[in-house]
């Protein structure tokens, strides 16, 4: 049985049972929210954390993560060929100001991903493998309604026992829509980094400061909690040189990785009509 489906239901149940219902001043929607929600899963032993309780668009998170690794910030640059998920967050220049990959590779005057890879090649036991997305010079701490600020705002990579482990730290997660895609995307990044560094992928960890569901999602959450996890664990092998090919924005790489997932992915029916609250 796919362990991630069980983990996901456990997390949803906790939000439903213990979540505090409050009205958001920004979105004008009620949310149920809890602080400090966390999970870990061993990708090598327990399988890839791809939700099967409902259908997740595979090419969406695969193309998104490749776009991140490339350091691009315009959806027209590769991403829009596969998904329009970031179109709602563009500015008038059709640019995503806080595009994660751009923040990782260019925004702070350092290529954090390249430095991470170089550090762990030369010093695999280093505990300094931290990549930051949040820019304290402009993100957050303001009543000005910005179109987007980073949700996953930092991640840490460690090689322990010959395996690469990634800890993703998230300030805010919509548990129905954002969370499953974030988990799948960053777990894919973990696998790309592990392959690049010639080690096995290990434990993926995900810590959320504010885990919530919106009032227009309550029925869908109840439906997901009724479904029985019955999917086999998913274990994939990435095409060779996936990290390097992602840097070059190879469209064929999206198709190849998506095919790896599709060969094993037999999700339960999609839930129609889900809408992102901006």
User: Active site includes 151?
Assistant: yes
Rounded to whole angstroms, the Cα distance separating 162 from 200 reads 7
Beta-carbon contacts of residue 100 (< 8 Å; ≥ 6 apart): 68, 133, 150, 152
Angle between helices 112-122 and 178-196 in degrees, nearest 10: 50
Starting at the earlier edge strand, list the strands of the sheet with 30-42. Answer: 20-23, 30-42, 200-214, 163-174, 152-160, 130-132
Element counts in the chain: helices (H) and strands (E): 9, 6
* Token reading at 63: 């193309």
Query: Which residue of the set 12, 37, 69, 151 is catalytic?
Result: 151
Rounded to whole angstroms, the Cα distance separating 104 from 72 reads 10
Give me the active site residues, please.
Answer: 151
């Amino acid at each position: 049985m796919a362990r991630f489906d069980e983990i996901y239901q456990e997390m949803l149940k906790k939000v439903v049972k213990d979540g505090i219902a409050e009205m958001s001043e920004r979105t004008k929607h009620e949310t149920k929210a809890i602080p400090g929600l966390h999970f870990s899963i061993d990708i090598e032993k327990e399988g890839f954390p791809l939700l099967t309780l409902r259908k997740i668009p595979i090419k969406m998170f695969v193309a998104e993560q490749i776009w991140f690794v490339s350091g691009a910030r315009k959806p027209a640059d590769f991403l829009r060929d596969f998904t329009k998920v970031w179109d709602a967050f563009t500015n008038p220049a059709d640019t995503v100001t806080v595009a994660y990959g751009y923040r990782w590779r260019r925004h702070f005057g350092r290529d954090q991903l390249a430095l991470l890879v170089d550090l762990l090649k030369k010093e695999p036991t280093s505990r300094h493998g931290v990549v930051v997305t949040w820019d304290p010079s402009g993100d957050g701490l303001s009543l000005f309604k910005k179109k987007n600020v980073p949700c996953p705002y930092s991640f840490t990579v460690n090689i322990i026992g010959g395996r690469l482990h990634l800890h993703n730290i998230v300030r805010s997660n919509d548990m129905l829509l954002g969370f499953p895609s974030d988990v799948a995307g960053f777990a894919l990044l973990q696998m790309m980094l592990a392959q690049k560094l010639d080690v096995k992928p290990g434990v993926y960890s995900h810590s959320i400061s504010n885990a919530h569901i919106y009032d227009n999602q309550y029925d869908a959450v109840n439906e997901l909690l009724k479904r029985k996890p019955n999917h086999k664990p998913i274990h994939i092998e990435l095409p060779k040189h996936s990290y390097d090919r992602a840097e070059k924005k190879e469209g064929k790489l999206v198709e190849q990785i998506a095919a790896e997932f599709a060969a094993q992915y037999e999700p339960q029916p999609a839930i129609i009509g889900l809408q992102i609250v901006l």
